Amino acid sequence: MIALGCDHGGYRLKEAVKKYLEENQIEYHDYGTYSEESVNYAPYAAKVGHAVMNGEAKCGILCCGTGIGISIAANKIRGIRAAVCTNEFCAEMTRRHNDANILCMGGRVIDEDMAVKLAKIFLETPFDGGRHATRIAEIAAIERGEL
């Protein structure tokens, strides 16, 4: 299952990604928000981040105006690696090198077509492992206060 979330600034991107997932029979859960009415982004980052960390979701997609606020919020959850992507190269590399578990995008930065492209790349690209696994282990060490 893919966990989806957004604030009002990311609503249109989230809906576009949702349509893509539906058309491709990819299971998802939409944690909201459900309209373009103004809301704060942190609660949606938390819902999606917790769904990923408790194993309900294999990964998440979060959208806000820039993708930045919602990524900062999601990254407060231990184990979350949420990456803001604006182009295909970053969407591929954040899976291959960072093993990102949440893709973040900005509705005031990219359009719906690009959001769907980035979501597809993110969902289909595996982690390279190897030396990158060592680097990710160091990120976890920071979370434990060891670095």
Active-site residues, by number, are 64, 97
Q: Would you tell me which residues interact with ligand RB5 (CB under 6 A)?
A: 7, 9, 41, 64-66, 68-69
CB of 114 to ligand RB5, least distance (A): 16
CB of 11 to ligand RB5, least distance (A): 10
Return the number of the residue (7 or 15) whose C-beta is nearest ligand RB5.
7
State the greatest distance between any 2 C-alpha atoms of the chain, in Å, as a whole number.
44
Return the number of the residue (2 or 64) whose C-beta is nearest ligand RB5.
64
CB of 131 to ligand RB5, least distance (A): 32
Measured between alpha carbons, how far is 62 from 132 in angstroms, rounded to an integer?
A: 24
Measured between alpha carbons, how far is 63 from 69 in angstroms, rounded to an integer?
A: 9
Give the CB-nearest residue to ligand RB5.
Answer: 69
Measured between alpha carbons, how far is 84 from 12 in angstroms, rounded to an integer?
A: 17
C-alpha torsion sign, points 23, 83, 107, 114: negative
Return the number of the residue (66 or 94) whose C-beta is nearest ligand RB5.
66
Measured between alpha carbons, how far is 11 from 51 in angstroms, rounded to an integer?
A: 19
